[in-house]
Amino acid sequence: MAQHLKNISVQTFRKYLEWKGLKHIRTNGGHEIWCRSDLKRPVVIQSHITPVPEFIVKQVLRTLNVEKQDFIDFLNS
């Protein structure tokens, strides 16, 4: 059964980013900027929109170069 990446709260998504080794470096308006030294670009999430839109989750997973299953495993742990 395929699991969708919707209805992910901002709090849960922050925990996932921390779990992947990212650090919250600043908040600019309603956007949080997260970084890790090996990433080409920072991860930006909107802190005022919950749940996190599915396309944002997919975009962040691409930036982190991880599979959807990695995030699903995190949710199920």
| Listed residue (69, 29, 75) closest to 51, CA to CA | 75
pLDDT of 1 > 50? The answer is no
Instruction: Count structural domains, the chain.
Output: 1
pLDDT of 3 > 90? The answer is no
2 within domain boundaries? no
Task: Reduce the secondary structure of the chain to three states and give it as a string.
Answer: CCCCCCCECHHHHHHHHHHCCCEEEEEECCEEEEECCCCCCCEEEECCCCCECHHHHHHHHHHHCCCHHHHHHHHHC
**What global pTM score does this model have?**
0.91
- For the segment 4-63, what is each residue's pLDDT rounded down to a tens digit? 788 899 999 999 999 999 999 999 999 999 999 999 999 999 998 889 999 999 999 999
User: Domain residues for 22?
Assistant: 10-38+47-76
4 within domain boundaries? no
31 within domain boundaries? yes
- Cis, bond preceding 53 (omega within 30 deg of 0): no
54 within domain boundaries? yes
